[in-house]
Amino acid sequence: MAKIHPTSVVAEGAVLADGVEIGPLCYVGPNVKIGEGTRLISHCNVDGYTTLGCRNVLHPFAALGQPAQDHSVIPGTVTRLEVGDDNIFREGTAIHTGTMPDTATVIGNHCMFMNGSHVGHNCKVGNNVIYVSQAVTGGYAEIQDNVILSGLVAIHQFCRVGRFTIISGCSAFSKDVPPFMMAEGRNGGVKMINKIGLQRAGFSEEAIRNIKDIFKIFYSGDLGPGAALAKIKAELPPTPEVLEFIEFCASSKRGVISAKVSGHRD
């Protein structure tokens, strides 16, 4: 049975699983579904067609499921927010629903959204992602598994950030950032591979060597992106990491960021 503080409002139609806790001065809308063990600590607002999985924790002033900040949204349109399990939403987090009918913003599992972070409409956020304080992603962005967006990072709408990538604080990108890398600046470029993160995640020495070779070819040479990808494909073994990097770059619609530009936040 759910526990609901007497000062909170849970609208008729909302579905609360066993073990849900709704703290003081919260609002839960009529089309919300909340999974077992999820806690709204206090002063939280969950609205729209929002589904929260199990064991999520919402801290004060988190707002999930509000309409997209987009003039194209038609009032009354059914758009969704779908959240997985074991996520943490710290103070002032804002995550919005989709724009077009029957579209969704999707959050995976085991993510942390620190205070003031924002996920725009129709974004797809993977598993084990961290948004540090005030990190924001525009509409339709894709943040893949095990990414860290440091404080005050801004990712432009429609951009992608590949798996196991770290974006340094105060950076802003309007192009795609490939997997396994560390990037910084205002489209400033890739600085190095995310070696420590890869080691902590259990990547083998061979896999890390191959990723280093990817970096040398793509970011340390004089080749353009197309020629660099061709060289990677021709010279490196077709391991999962190599193929993932090639596929990510080849499928980019906005273009992939270049090497670190000298003088950017040195």
pLDDT tens digits for 2-28?
999 999 999 999 999 999 999 999 999
Is residue 180 domain-resident? no
125 DSSP β-pair partners: 107, 143
Dist CA 187 CA 98 (whole Å): 27
Question: What is the total count of domains within the chain?
Answer: 1
**Amino acid 260: pLDDT:** 61
Task: Dump strand ranges (E) for 9-79.
Answer: 9-10, 15-16, 21-22, 27-28, 33-34, 39-40, 45-46, 49-52, 57-58, 63-66
Average pLDDT, the chain: 95
**Above pLDDT 70, what percent of the chain?**
97
Dist CA 261 CA 266 (whole Å): 10
Mean pLDDT, residues 99-107: 95
Is residue 254 domain-resident? no
Among the listed residues 154, 80, 238, the one whose alpha carbon sits nearest the alpha carbon of residue 167: 154
Is residue 227 domain-resident? no
Q: Evaluate if residue 266 carries a pLDDT over 60.
A: no
**Residue 94 domain boundaries:** 3-143
> Cα 120–101–64 angle (5° rounding)?
35
Instruction: Give the three-class secondary structure for 68.
Output: coil
Is residue 250 domain-resident? no
Is residue 177 domain-resident? no
DSSP H/E element including 229 = helix 225-235
pLDDT band at 222 (very low <50, low <70, confident <90, very high): confident
**Amino acid 46: pLDDT:** 98
For the residues of 143-157, what is the DSSP string, one character each?
E-TT-EE-TT-EE-T
| pLDDT tens digits along 146-176 | 999 999 999 999 999 999 999 999 999 999 9
| pLDDT tens digits along 230-264 | 999 999 999 999 999 999 999 999 999 987 654 44
Is residue 97 domain-resident? yes
CATH code, domain carrying 11:
2.160.10.10
Is residue 137 domain-resident? yes
Is residue 46 domain-resident? yes
Q: How many CA atoms lie within 13 A of 138 on its CB side?
A: 13
